[in-house]
Amino acid sequence: MLDINVSSAQRVFYYFEQLSAIHRGSGDMEAIAQYCVSFAKEHNLKYVRDAANNVIIFKDGTASYEQSEPIILQGHLDMVCQKTNDCNINFELDGLDLYVDGDYIKARGTTLGSDNGIAVAMVLAILESDDIAHPPIEAVFTTDEEVGMIGARAMDMSVLRGKRMINLDSETEDIVTVSCAGGSDFVVNVPLITNKKQGEKVALTISGLQGGHSGIEINKGRVNADILAGRILNHLKTQQDFDIISLCGGNKSNAIPNTFTAELCVDNAAAFCKLAQEYAGVIKSEICDREKNIAIEITSCGSGEYDAFDKEISNKLIHTLLCVPNGVCEMSASIDGLVETSLNLGVLQTSDDSVTLHFALRSNKQSSLVFLEEKLSAFFKNLGLNIETFGHYPPWEYREDSYLRDIYCDTYFENFKTPVKVLAIHAGLECGIFAGQIDNFDCISIGPEMHDVHTTREKLSISSTVNVYDILIKILGKLK
């Protein structure tokens, strides 16, 4: 049990620990959905569970709130599963190993899943309580948000009566989010032709990069391991010939990849390693202010005969990694500091018959998102490669007259005597999908302080969780 001594939010942390014991990586939603159903049954609450494993739990308003307008409380059940190389946890079987470090909850060797487990924990604590005043609640727990908001897009929202929603998928206590980016997945599959090559195998490994969320942290100068690898491989190609055996970097399209490995076949491993180490020194010197822990290693792996990429395919892949746009494309001209359009090459994987490149595209303007897809399509079709786009979700546009925004700002000021920041973000929230299907939709997104989400350094502030939960309860009491 976590040793957390807070009175008002004790049950929040209890439920967060319960959720963390359940395997709930994106695509593995059966067990966590069943947990929510069991919770509803235990507390005699009406619920709906659909084919996508979304769960909606309904609770009547408390005394004198019975006829109030319903409020939707929403979070997602899945988490991004990342772990360190020495971590033995099996995400398909095991729970997380949580511990407390000062004001933070962390997980040993893995992502924490505070995105968005803490939202679910807060809502469950409210649903369980008998002494929190609130209007009718429609608690919506969606699935597979991290891999394209699949659950929200599949959900039948006609079962909802509420037109006001508090989404709990934000990560900064003193910010209320009122708009977000839309996005899509863009995948390139390169059919693989290989030839037998005799030579010495070397492994080029990049590690120690910060990585992070491909929306929220895309403008923080964090280096993409896949894109950096393209630069290194292109430079080495001008110095000494080599053949590619495999390329591997990143495994989540919405996470900036922080590691990369290439297996190469060369004629002279010693000479090649020397050239690579010299250029690695140049790279480290250039980016050490942004990436203090970067490590670039070249290892000789012995000689033999290997299945190597056809030269034409190798050249196309190196050209792609060197020249494809990545990162921030446009900044907003109307909202100061907001990234308007971006993309992230999050996955580069080699299988038996193909190499896959998976990009996450984002924009706060639908037309800009369409243009980015067209631009990438032209780039890859010119290389003779086929592309696929899917997982489209709409932006959540700013609403001038928002009752929820105003009441949240007032409540925050009452509690902390300082104004809350009202911001739009360059990250996907399910609010956009709800806004596209519910007329006259009023929504805000809030959440406690958490850092380095989608990485093994992820941590959740205990005190901030208490603060946000307390404000949430006060807001519910005002929605009469």
For the stretch 137-194, pLDDT in tens is 999 999 999 988 999 999 999 999 999 999 999 999 999 999 889 889 999 999 999 9
On the CB side of 261, CA atoms within 13 Å amount to 8
pLDDT tens digits along 23-71:
999 999 999 999 999 999 999 999 999 999 999 999 999 999 999 999 9
* Longest pairwise C-alpha distance within the chain: 81
Q: What percent of the chain has pLDDT over 70?
A: 100
Whether pLDDT at 231 is above 90: yes
**DSSP code, position 431:** H
Quote the pLDDT of residue 365. 85
**DSSP code, position 87:** -
pLDDT tens digits along 244-261:
999 999 989 989 999 999
Quote the pLDDT of residue 79. 97
Quote the pLDDT of residue 399. 85
Same fold, 10-170+429-478 and 185-393: no
| Long-range CB contacts for residues 171-174, cutoff 8 Å, separation at least 24 | 171/115, 171/216, 171/447, 171/448, 171/449, 171/450, 171/451, 171/453, 172/447, 172/449, 173/447, 173/448, 173/449, 173/461, 173/464, 173/467, 173/468, 174/412, 174/416, 174/418, 174/420, 174/421
Q: Tell me the backbone φ, ψ of residue 330, rounded to 5 degrees.
A: -145, 140
Least confident of 285-289, 396-400, 435-439: 396-400
Question: Would you kindly state where each structural domain of the chain is located, as residue ranges?
Answer: 10-170+429-478, 185-393
pLDDT tens digits along 313-356:
999 999 999 999 999 999 988 778 889 999 999 999 999 999 99
Give the closest residue to 117 by CA, choosing from 46, 171, 60. 171
Name the residue type at position 42.
E
Name the residue type at position 133.
A
Q: Are strands 354-363 and 339-350 parallel, antiparallel or unpaired?
A: antiparallel
CATH superfamily, domain at 10-170+429-478: Zn peptidases (3.40.630.10)
CATH code assigned to 185-393: 3.30.70.360
pLDDT, greater one: 73 or 436: 73
Give the closest residue to 431 by CA, choosing from 180, 185, 115. 180
Whether pLDDT at 88 is above 80: yes
Give one DSSP letter per residue of 94-136, joined into a string: ----EEEETTEEEETTB---HHHHHHHHHHHHHHH-SS---S-
Give the closest residue to 362 by CA, choosing from 210, 213, 182, 139. 182
Q: Provide the annotated active-site residues.
A: 78, 145
Confidence grade of residue 129 (pLDDT, cut at 50, 70, 90): very high
**DSSP code, position 218:** T
Cα separation, 395 vs 384, whole angstroms: 31
Confidence grade of residue 366 (pLDDT, cut at 50, 70, 90): confident
Quote the pLDDT of residue 292. 96
Rg over alpha carbons for the chain, rounded to the nearest Å, is 24
Whether pLDDT at 1 is above 80: no
Give the closest residue to 261 by CA, choosing from 334, 345, 349, 140. 349
Task: Please give the model's pTM, rounded to 2 decimal places.
Answer: 0.71
Quote the pLDDT of residue 394. 83
Element (H, E) at 164: strand 164-167
Quote the pLDDT of residue 397. 81
Q: How many CB atoms lie within 10 A of CB 323?
A: 12
Name the residue type at position 95.
G
* Edge-to-edge order in the sheet of strand 98-101: 98-101, 104-107, 459-461, 450-451
